[in-house]
Structure 1
Amino acid sequence: MYPKAYLDYLYHFHCDRDYFECHEVLEEYWKEKEAIDREIHWVGLIQIAVGLYHHRRGNFKGSLRMLQNACRVIGKESSAINALGLDSGRLVKMLDERIVCVTKQEPYVSMNLPIADPDLQLSCDALAKSASKVWGAPSDLLDGSLVNRHTLRDRSDVIEERRKQLELRRKG
């Protein structure tokens, strides 16, 4: 009923708190469609993960920007978010509360998305159990590979693409 990428996102969001991976799996799914057909509600979910990633790292400015954007998207796309088995109204309220925390530069605390569909929650619980994970476990703030995941990835393809685009602009 729900896309596998979305279930993977929920798993990483709630089980290992790998917000970087949440971003990766959902962005890849979102980009499968042509730009004109892409659904913006996926961006809101991606931005929540990125905002929490930044908050956990103490990047309050980056976190605030992402969470504010996510809150706007989720609010505007409430029907689509509800169709994904989440309670959009509750999620907007949670994001508003997190924005206040980030504005006050309070420390990161893990959050769970408000799943409203009991069948979705059962599927998620089964995913967690099959991986011997605990649904809703807090982030391991001492795990540097989790907290600083973006610094550990291979970015050579991104750097090469930027170099090519810069060269094209210089020629053109």
Structure 2
Amino acid sequence: MYPKAYLDYLYHFHCDRDYFECHEVLEEYWKEKDATEREIHWVGLIQIAVGLYHQRRGNYKGALRMLQNAHSLIDKESAKINALGLDSRKLVILLEERIDGVRREDPYCSMNLPIADPELQLSCEAMAKKTRKTWGAASDLLNGSLVNRHTLRDRTEVIAERRRQLDLRKRREAKE
């Protein structure tokens, strides 16, 4: 009923608190569609994970920006969020509370998304049990590879693509 990428997102969000992986799996899913057909509610969920990732690292400015954007999208896309088995109204309230905490520079604490669909909740808990994880476990703040995941990834392909695009731009400009 729900896309696998979304279920993976929920798993990483609630079991290992790997917000970087949440971003990766959902962004990849979102980008499978043509740019003109992409559904913006997925971006709101991605931004929640990115905002929590930033807050956990003490980047309150980045966290605030992401969480405010997520709040706006979730609020506007409430029907789509509800169709994903979440309670959009409760999620908006959670985001408002989190934004206030980020403004105060409160330390990070784990957050659970308000799942309204009991079958989705049971399915997610079964996924967690199958992998011997605890659904809703607190984030392991001492796990450096989790907290600083973006600094540990291989960016070779990204850097090469950026160079390629820059070279293409320079060639186009030279022709003009």
Q: Does 1:167 align with 2:167?
A: yes
Aligned mates of 1:35, 1:89 — CA distance in 2: 28
Deviations along 1:10-41, one digit per CA (max 9) or x if unpaired, are 00000000000000000000000000010000
- What letter matches 2:42 in structure 1? W
Q: How does 1:16-55 map to 2 (within 5 A)?
A: 16-55=16-55
Quick check: which has more Rg, 1 or 2? Answer: 2
Deviations along 1:60-94, one digit per CA (max 9) or x if unpaired, are 00000000000000000000000000000000000
TM-score under structure 2 length normalisation: 0.97
Secondary structure at 1:136 match in 2: coil
Aligned mates of 2:160, 2:89 — CA distance in 1: 42
- What letter matches 1:165 in structure 2? Q
**For residue 132 of structure 1, what is the aligned residue in structure 2?**
132
- How far has the Cα of 1:167 moved from its partner? 1.0
Aligned mates of 2:153, 2:98 — CA distance in 1: 28
Flag structure 1 segments of 5+ consecutive residues without an equivalent.
none
Aligned mates of 1:48, 1:106 — CA distance in 2: 17
Secondary structure at 1:114 match in 2: coil
- What letter matches 1:43 in structure 2? V
- What letter matches 2:33 in structure 1? K
Deviating above 4 A after TM superposition, structure 1's stretches of 4 or more consecutive aligned residues are none
Secondary structure at 2:101 match in 1: helix
TM-score under structure 1 length normalisation: 0.99
Q: What is the count of residue pairs matched by the alignment?
A: 172
- Percent identical pairs in the alignment equals 76
**For residue 94 of structure 2, what is the aligned residue in structure 1?**
94
- How far has the Cα of 1:168 moved from its partner? 1.2
- What letter matches 1:146 in structure 2? L
- How far has the Cα of 1:139 moved from its partner? 0.3
Aligned mates of 1:70, 1:77 — CA distance in 2: 10
- How far has the Cα of 1:152 moved from its partner? 0.6
- How far has the Cα of 1:48 moved from its partner? 0.2
**For residue 119 of structure 1, what is the aligned residue in structure 2?**
119
- How far has the Cα of 1:130 moved from its partner? 0.2
